[in-house]
Structures are given as structure tokens and as C-alpha cells.
Amino acid sequence: MKLLLKNIFQTITILLSLLSLTSLSNSFPLSTSSRWIIDENSGHRVKLACVNWAGHLHAMVPEGLEKKPLRQIAAFVASNGYNCVRLTWATYMFTRSNYSSLSVTQSLDHWNLVEAKEGMAKNNPWIMGLTLFEAQRAVVNELGAHKVMVVLDNHVSKPKWCCGGKDGNGFFGDEFFDPDEWLQGLSMVAELYKGIDTVVGMSMRNELRGERQNENDWYKYIQLGATTIHTANPDVLVIVSGLSFDTNLGFLKKKPLSLGSNLKSKLVYEAHWYSFGNPMDQWMLQTNGFCAKRTRWFMSGAGFLITGPNPAPLFLSEFGVDQRGVSERDNRYLSCLLGFLAERDLDWALWTLQGSYKLREGIVGMEENFGLVDANWDHLRNSTLQDKLQLVQQMTQDPNSKWPTNYVMFHPQSGRCAKLGSQGLYLSNCLQTTKWSYGGNGTPIRLTGTSRCLTTDGDGLPPILSDDCSSQRSLWESVSESKFHMAAQDGRGSYLCLDGSSSSSSAVLTKKCLCLDNDLKDVPSCGQNPQNQWFKLVPTNKQ
């Protein structure tokens, strides 16, 4: 009896400690204005730069707590520039007593996860006796203590790996996806996190898919889901996913989602963009054209929402690559996507934080090659990829800014930005950048605040800063179908492109344009990688 009372007292003490952390988290509800997410109180834009963290699999405990202390994981997320976590969860964890009543220890025992249990007892012993919800709440509170916002993503109903077209979790009415139970789960989670400032949004459902998917049911249940969340917790953003694995919201062009005015200011759409299924040969031999094709695909399916007379916020809630760097298709896709992300300054979430899983698809301890951390959660899996995210982690477009729009010269292949130094133009980190003004094709690229402009000085040489801004050598065009090449003439009628491929230095040179003919059109097939020459002039109105 004394031991029981002692355990109860320890649990109460832990929960009170967790609750006290909430006051340390972000202290604002978020809202929307036009295509932007904003602080509801100040009206200032808040950009989501997130990483996904899986908590929806069999054991229903966020991955990695068996590898490292929770505080260390939260500190790692914050120190690497992420201000947000998209934390995934399963409906059954809340709606079914045989799941919701489990402690962390009982859940690990149920799946015979002996090694994970030993690791969690070592790294986070205080979590072992908590219920699954209490453990989730502990994660949320620790993230909040590190000033990291949380978006709760309803990933599946039945806890398991996601996503397959016939996994029973895909669409309303599937084997494990009862719409009424789903609504019950949304309501419970929204209510449980009411008043918890760290939780700034709830995503209704991840990757709707499968043979049953249809637009009529989508409108019916998405409207019910949005209303359910907003009624239970009017502070959180309500995040809406589309069809076909979160790639298709195109049907909204003909029939917008109809919701009340109060909810409208809380509505954010989400989409995913991966290289899955893309033909390798098109990325390898038609890089410019295929990047343009995939960008048009994304704009048609979801990106259109940030344009037009009534734009809405769009959250790219999943993208990612094999971080071992072994897939050239992934590498080229990522450069294409990062250029787009930077130019549009979208809110986003990288897939994914976890470097391993307690249990996935029947495999204990499976490694996640898309994971930000390695399998032991010791280090970044690929520090180069993390460096590539520097610019997109920053806010470059501020709807309230009084500063004029200038441009940052971004090299997406390296993730670096072009700066002007004593030795000319060179690539460096994007934390402090040189800004330029540019009036569009056939105009000079001028150093902001001066009358001087970039001018070609010959093939294989760095561009110079010149006062002669009317010369053909100073008039730059965004060329190729990808619109990533920046080209100007060399004084003899031939075009040179900015090039960041120098192996001996970080210097930016001008060279013969790769994979383009003399008329600056893409050649049908090109064995070279033109992304060395990809530069995107990214608009910014930040000082």
C-alpha cells in the first residue's frame, strides 16, 4: 500500500511539473491573413519551419525516447533552427480504452520491445509509468519549454506505419477509419490541448488515399472535422489535407471549401511533395524540364492556393530525401524543391526527425534513412542537408514590412547564397546575405543601394561589379524551362551563366550554359548536371 501511494505521489508530482512547463512555451494563438500565418494578437507573420516526429506507430510513444533524454531531443530540434514539430498521433490512442488505458511500460511490453524498454528506462525513466497521452503531453511540454511550437497531426486511426493504398487507414469508411470515431478523436485531442499554447495547430488527417476516396465524402467529412476541432478548441489552426496522398487539392478551384467566417481565419491547407515514382532518367537527363514539370504539378495540385484574389496559407507538411545522399534523383529533386520553397517562402515540415523506429512494419529497431538524426540519435545524419535549409528556415517575406523588396541570390544545390566580397562574388551561408535589385528579364542585377551591377567578364571568370549597366554583358535573363539559370552575354554574342561549381574555391564564375542550346532553350537530353548553375533570385523585404 505504501509503495502504491508512493508511486501515485510520484506520478502527480511529475504531471504538475509538466503542466508548469506550459507557461514557458509560445504565448500566442495563431491565425491567418491572406496567404500568411500570423500571431493573432500582434498581426505579425509567424513562419512554420518544422520537422516531423513520429508518434503514431504501434507503441504510440514518440520515437527516440528510448535513445536519448527528452530534454536533449527537444534541445536538438531547437538548436538546429526548427521552431515547430509536426507530431503524429493515432486515433485509437484516445478513442479505445484498450489503448488509452495503457502505460508506456505496458505498451512496450505488449509489443515485446525489450530493448526499447531498457533504453527508455535508462534515458527517460520518469515516463515509464505515464499513460500514452501523458507521455505525449510530456513531449509537447518539453518542446514548448524550448520555444518549439507543435502541430498535432492525426496520421492514422489504427497505430501502424503509414501509408499504403490498401492499409485500411486511408479514407473515410475504410476498415480502421470509422468517420464517427475519427471525429470523436479529433474532439478529444482538441479539448485536451485547449489552453496549451505550445499546440498551435491540428492537422485533420494525413494523406487521404485509396480506392474509396472521392470528393463528395471529402467535403462532407472535412467540414465536419474542421468544425469539430474549432468547436472544441477555437485557438488552434485547423489544417486541411487533400486527396491522393496529400497531393491533390485541385478540386477546390471549382468548389471552394465552405466554412464559417470565424473558422476561415484559422484555416490552413497542407500538401506533400516527394520524388517517389518520378522517372530517374527524366531527373538525370532532362533536369531543367522535369523540375519545371514537377513545379507545375505542385502548383496545379496545391500551390495555386497561395495565388489569386483570395489566397490561403499552404503548409508543405512533408518533403524529404534519403539523407545518406545515395539517390541522385533525390538530390536533384531537393534542389528543385528548395528553390521553389525559397522563392515562395512557404511554411514547411521536413520528413523526418527520427533516425530509427522501435517497431516498423514488423522490424524492431528499423533505421530511417530519411531521418535527421542517425540510428543511435547521436548526430545529424547529414549535416550538408541541414546547411541547405538555412535560407528556408528564415522568413524572407513579411506582409507587414515597410522595407522595399530586394533579392537574395540562392544556390539551391549547395544551399548557400552569393555574397560580394573583396575577391568578388562567392558562395557562403545564408545567415547574412548580399541583397540585389532586379527588374526582370533583360535588366541589370544591381547591388542594393548603389548604381553598380553584375557584369560578365569572360568564360570561366568571375562576374565583376561595373558602372556600365546598359551593356549586354550586364543585362541578365532567367532562362531554361526551370528558370534557374541566370544568363548574360559575353560581349561577343554568346551567353554565359552564373556557375557555382568551382572545386577549388567558393567563387561564383560565369561559364557556358549547361544543357542549353545557343538560343537558351533546353536540349532534349543532357548528361551533365545543370544544377551547378542554378541560382534563384529570392524576393525579400526583410532588412
- The reported pLDDT for the residue numbered 12 is 36
Cell numbers given for 507: 567563387
Q: With helix as H, strand as E and coil as C, how does 164-190 read?
A: CCCCCCCCCCCCCCCHHHHHHHHHHHH
**Type of residue numbered 52:** N
Cell numbers given for 3: 509503495
- The reported pLDDT for the residue numbered 423 is 85
| Beta strand ranges found along 91-195 (DSSP E) | 149-156
- Cβ(420)–Cβ(465) below 8 Å: yes
The bridge status of strand 30-33 relative to strand 445-447 is unpaired
- The reported pLDDT for the residue numbered 262 is 79
May I ask the CATH architecture of the domain 406-540? Answer: Trefoil (2.80)
In whole angstroms, give the CA distance from residue 81 to residue 76.
9
pTM above 0.85, yes or no: yes
* Every domain of the chain and the residues it spans: 47-390, 406-540
Is it true that the peptide bond before 163 is cis, omega within 30 degrees of 0?
A: yes
What are the residues facing 183 on neighbouring strands?
none
In whole angstroms, give the CA distance from residue 542 to residue 401.
7
Cell numbers given for 426: 562567392
Give the long-range contacts of residues 492-496, CB within 8 A, separation 24 or more.
494/518, 495/520, 496/456, 496/458, 496/459
- 47-390: what fold? TIM Barrel (3.20.20)
- The reported pLDDT for the residue numbered 3 is 36
Residues 6+ apart with CB under 8 A from 429: 387, 390, 416, 417
Could you read off the pLDDT of 259-283 as tens digits, one per residue?
987 798 999 999 999 999 999 999 9
Residues 6+ apart with CB under 8 A from 472: 488, 489, 491
> What does the radius of gyration of the chain's CA atoms come to, in whole angstroms?
25
Give the long-range contacts of residues 171-179, CB within 8 A, separation 24 or more.
171/208, 171/209, 171/210, 171/212, 171/213, 171/217, 172/212, 172/217, 172/221, 173/212, 173/217, 174/210, 174/212, 179/221, 179/224
What 8-state DSSP symbol labels residue 465?
A: E
- The reported pLDDT for the residue numbered 226 is 98
The bridge status of strand 477-479 relative to strand 359-360 is unpaired
In whole angstroms, give the CA distance from residue 172 to residue 178.
6
- The reported pLDDT for the residue numbered 11 is 41
Using 70 as the pLDDT threshold, list the residues of the chain that sit under it: 1-27, 503-504
Whole-number Cα distances in Å, 371 to 110, 327, 367, 386: 26, 15, 8, 11
- The reported pLDDT for the residue numbered 503 is 67
